[in-house]
Chain A
Amino acid sequence: MPLLENGRIAEDRWVEAVEGAPLPDGAVIVPFARLEEGLARTGTAPLGVAIEPDMAVEQLRVALPRLELVAVTFGSFRDGRAFTQARALREHLSFDGEIRAMGKPLPDQYEFMLRCGITTVKTERPEDVTVWQQAHEMFSVAYQPSTLHERPQGLGLRRFLS
């Protein structure tokens, strides 16, 4: 599926590092194992890092000011650790760059992703984008705080999603 941002198809300026090949010059997403290599590049080309679900995002603290993108991975849609990673990036590390969901999440998880601070989605699934767009517009209210700091609705912890 093409890159999705705010429920719309967006242009993807990033390339993923190819295993065994040198890093390209432009905007590149490196695996965490090659983060040092990415940081050592000269020039101003944007750098992103892709992390595995079992990693504590705290390990990115030092590098984070130099990163424009962190990609979190849904190895399976059942594995919800990427939600916690995204939220910790926003709330504990104050990361304000792009958080990208990769792997195999379901469109039914889209609103959850956005509320946990994920901004873009690039899935391995050949899905119809309209299903994702519908998922984005499915709910108008939520019942708990999120990283989006939505407008409180006035009763309990409820807030408006749109």
Chain B
Amino acid sequence: MSTNTATLPVGRYAYDQVDRTFLSQRVAQFRAQVNRRIAGDLSEDEFKPLRLMNGLYLQLHAYMLRVAIPYGMLGSDQMRELAHIARTYDRDYGHFTTRQNMQFNWIRLEDTPDILQRLADVDMHAIQTSGNCIRNVTCDEFAGAAADELLDPRIHAEILRQWSTLHPEFSFLPRKFKIAISGSPQDRVAARFHDIGLVARPGAQGRPVFDVFVGGGLGRTPVIGVLLRDNLPEEDLVAYLEAIVRVYNAYGRRDNMYKARIKILVQALGVETFREKVDAEFALMNRADYRLDPAIVDGIRARFGIPALDAPADAADTLAAARRTDARFDRWVRTNTHPHRHEGFISVVISVKPDGGIPGDVTADQMDLIADLADGWSFGEIRVTHMQNVVLGHVRKDRLHELWQKLVAAGLGTPNIGLIGDIIACPGLDYCSLANARSIPIAQKLSARFADPELQENIGKLHINISGCINACGHHHAGHIGILGVDKRGEEFFQLTLGGSASNDVAIGQIIGPALPEDETVDAIARLVDAYLVLRNEGEEFIDTYRRLGAASFKDAVYAPA
């Protein structure tokens, strides 16, 4: 079989007729389930796990539909379909999530079979974006582009996506199960805050090997994952993951949903006992049945379109010249781009967090524009990041200035990636039925307070994460500054944690003191940042200063009398 890579979508797995048949069968299944529910043959209790496994939640005001964006990769055609769904079935916008998916917040139950059909028409779905099953596999937003990458993790992310899809044994686990995979020594996927985190690199025989971390997670009980197995050969990847999830399915707690994640099992058994159980299971398995043959991997790889990276020899010079003459552009290049493996190309992060905006929200018009820009500048390929932004992976350096001008004109040129304005926030009490507090207004106030790009760049790298309740969807434990909404006798308060990190220097943030009333929180953070600017040594980032001095140095600033 010859494969014409020119016709395959760049950066993601190209569906064929078999995949499309499967998706249409899945849509038919869900349509029948909705009909059974409407006819009363299914109780809400029974329907709930079925709709959840198609991404459909019942939220505070309406149904929310979470659409899967496998490992964050999206084609421009798919983005336009998301825009269409936002316009037709929602209120003209969607929301990028920290797991690289997209949520629609105002969906009607009876529309969902039609929406899923529309998604299926562009090879998309909402399978396993919720429920106690293996969720969307997340991946490095610079996969296949980053200069520091050792191995493109998307091929194995796709293999795991397929393997976990309607898995017969693992669709009714004790609790949800999240897998992330990275192919770079720089952890951009929070590998150690996942149920399973995989770090891939080339092995001795040219085939990949994997370090397997297990039992990490945030939520009510933040835990840093432990290394369960290093140098796992590629051919054993599926077998070993089967063994881990099988042990979890058999022994994970089912009596208390807050103690049901694999991290609790690993802690309860101890990592040595857990490893023994996994190894015993692995040893019993018929490895041939589960073997991931190199030919299987190569077959999947051949379904990925590869960008033709041709750039003029002077592309980098052209970019350098533009930076010299345009200071605003130069700043944006410093903050919003990432080095590409090809010297004539660069990866661009489009901030969807404008000053005072809602982190991760995009309008239908912005989606269409991003799709157009992807077609014009990056092979029609779009990536959603776990920071809730958008990446164009392969942009020619000599065409970057032109792209930036278009972004600025559309309000998408905010130069704040990795800075204090690049806030992660959960939907909070504005949408979510679990939340205790509203995350979004705090995010908006902070974003507006620190809007000055010069100030932001001076402050430097600083991750703020906001969760509206202890379920920690805003990953506050992993923020340099974490903000947790709590309810105190009907009033919203916010508790600050400092020193968290989801990168290579992984750490869980520590509570600095009593929670603050909503109207004092932003001022307290401003004082905290001012204190850091005074205390920092030359070249120190916030996290460095915090680690050098500890919480005490910041506590006075946070709790200073107004």
A residues touching B (Cβ–Cβ < 8 Å)? 56, 77-81, 83-85, 87-88, 91-92, 106, 108-109, 111-116, 128, 131, 134, 138-146, 149, 153, 155-158
The stretch among B25-33, B365-373, B427-435 that forms the contact with chain A is B25-33
Query: Within the assembled complex, what's the spacing in Å between the Cα atoms of A158 and B249?
Result: 23
Residues of B within 8 A of A113 (CB): 168
Query: Within the assembled complex, what's the spacing in Å between the Cα atoms of A139 and B165?
Result: 12
B179 to chain A, nearest CB (A): 14
Task: List 17 A–B pairs whose Cβ atoms lie within 8 Å, in order of A's numbering.
Answer: A77-B46, A77-B172, A80-B169, A80-B170, A81-B249, A83-B170, A85-B250, A111-B168, A128-B41, A131-B41, A134-B32, A138-B28, A142-B166, A145-B289, A145-B290, A153-B18, A158-B162
Q: Contact: A156 with B296, CB < 8 Å?
A: yes
Q: Contact: B167 with A144, CB < 8 Å?
A: yes
Residues of B within 8 A of A108 (CB): 29, 33, 50
Q: B16 within 8 Å of A by Cβ?
A: yes
Encode contact with A along B284-295: 1 for CB under 8 Å, 0 otherwise.
111001101000
Query: Within the assembled complex, what's the spacing in Å between the Cα atoms of A143 and B246?
Result: 17
Query: Within the assembled complex, what's the spacing in Å between the Cα atoms of A111 and B169?
Result: 10
Query: Within the assembled complex, what's the spacing in Å between the Cα atoms of A84 and B250?
Result: 7
User: Which residue of A79, A87, A155 is within 8 Å of B18 (Cβ)?
Assistant: A155
Residues of B within 8 A of A111 (CB): 166, 168
> Which residue of chain B lies nearest to A146 when distances are taken between CB atoms in the complex?
B168
Q: Contact: B50 with A156, CB < 8 Å?
A: no
Residues of B within 8 A of A84 (CB): 169, 246, 249-250
Residues of A within 8 A of B238 (CB): 144-145, 157
Q: Which 10 A-B pairs have the closest CB atoms?
A: A80-B172, A115-B168, A112-B168, A143-B162, A83-B169, A92-B284, A143-B165, A84-B249, A144-B163, A84-B250
Residues of A within 8 A of B173 (CB): 80
B129 to chain A, nearest CB (A): 17
Residues of A within 8 A of B292 (CB): 157
Query: Within the assembled complex, what's the spacing in Å between the Cα atoms of A112 and B173?
Result: 13
Query: Within the assembled complex, what's the spacing in Å between the Cα atoms of A77 and B50?
Result: 11
Q: Contact: A157 with B163, CB < 8 Å?
A: yes
Q: B207 within 8 Å of A by Cβ?
A: no
Query: Within the assembled complex, what's the spacing in Å between the Cα atoms of A111 and B171?
Result: 12
Query: Within the assembled complex, what's the spacing in Å between the Cα atoms of A157 and B156?
Result: 12
Q: Contact: A81 with B250, CB < 8 Å?
A: yes
Residues of B within 8 A of A115 (CB): 168
B361 to chain A, nearest CB (A): 33
Q: Contact: B21 with A156, CB < 8 Å?
A: no
> Which residue of chain A lies nearest to B300 when distances are taken between CB atoms in the complex?
A156
B310 to chain A, nearest CB (A): 30
Instruction: State the main secondary structure of chain A at its contact with B.
Output: loop
Given contacts A108-B33, A131-B36, contact A78 B49 (CB under 8 A): yes
Residues of B within 8 A of A156 (CB): 159, 162, 296, 299-300
Residues of A within 8 A of B159 (CB): 156-157
User: Which residue of A56, A80, A155 is within 8 Å of B299 (Cβ)?
Assistant: A155
B144 to chain A, nearest CB (A): 19
14 more contacts with CB within 8 A, not counting A78-B172, A81-B249, are A56-B250, A80-B170, A106-B46, A109-B171, A111-B166, A115-B168, A138-B28, A139-B22, A140-B25, A143-B22, A145-B290, A153-B18, A155-B300, A156-B300
Q: B132 within 8 Å of A by Cβ?
A: yes
Encode contact with A along B212-243: 1 for CB under 8 Å, 0 otherwise.
00000000000000000000000000100000
Q: B91 within 8 Å of A by Cβ?
A: no
User: Which residue of B22, B167, B250 is within 8 Å of A141 (Cβ)?
Assistant: B22
Q: B488 within 8 Å of A by Cβ?
A: no
> Which residue of chain A lies nearest to B46 when distances are taken between CB atoms in the complex?
A106
Residues of B within 8 A of A77 (CB): 46, 49, 172
Query: Within the assembled complex, what's the spacing in Å between the Cα atoms of A84 and B132?
Result: 15
Residues of B within 8 A of A83 (CB): 168-170, 172, 249
Interface centre among B163, B169, B285, by most A CB within 10 Å?
Answer: B169
Q: B342 within 8 Å of A by Cβ?
A: no
B291 to chain A, nearest CB (A): 9
A112 to chain B, nearest CB (A): 4
Q: Contact: B300 with A78, CB < 8 Å?
A: no
Query: Within the assembled complex, what's the spacing in Å between the Cα atoms of A54 and B174?
Result: 13
Residues of B within 8 A of A114 (CB): 168
Within 8 A of A (CB), among B391-407: none
Within 8 A of A (CB), among B1-55: 16, 18, 21-22, 25-26, 28-29, 32-33, 36, 41, 46, 49-50
Interface centre among B29, B32, B164, B250, by most A CB within 10 Å?
Answer: B250
Query: Within the assembled complex, what's the spacing in Å between the Cα atoms of A114 and B25?
Result: 18
> Which residue of chain A lies nearest to B299 when distances are taken between CB atoms in the complex?
A155
Interface centre among A78, A80, A138, by most B CB within 10 Å?
Answer: A80
Q: B328 within 8 Å of A by Cβ?
A: no
User: Which residue of A81, A87, A155 is within 8 Å of B16 (Cβ)?
Assistant: A155
Q: B108 within 8 Å of A by Cβ?
A: no
Residues of A within 8 A of B449 (CB): none
